[in-house]
Amino acid sequence: MNIIYTEEGKKLSCSAFFEELGTRLNDTAHDRTSLKFSFYSAHDITVEAFLQCLNSTDAGPQPPFASTLLFELWQTDDTY
């Protein structure tokens, strides 16, 4: 697979998802939602794109079948 995205390609492929993720986390942190869990489904190429956007890939083989990216919001005292 080894698709290497340019910086512009990363922005195009990941911006909408990370904006959505940021909105969900902010809403939770500011008590604007009672939502506790969100699930998104993606293909391996999309997971690879997200990993590249996070600079967390070695450009090796594609992510294995049923790979998962997990984002958690943790609270310590009054900070998130």
d(CA 12, CA 16): 8
* Predicted confidence band of residue 13 (pLDDT cuts 50, 70, 90): confident
CA dist 80 and 37 (Å) reads 16
Provide the pLDDT for residue 42: 87
Q: Domain map of the chain by residue range?
A: 1-80
Q: What was the pLDDT predicted at 48? A: 83
Mark residue 77 as left, alpha or beta (left: phi above 0; alpha: psi -120 to 50; beta: remaining): left
Are the C-beta atoms of residues 53 and 10 closer than 8 Å to each other? Answer: yes
Whole-prediction pTM: 0.75
Q: What is the residue whose two structure tokens read 């009672």? A: 34
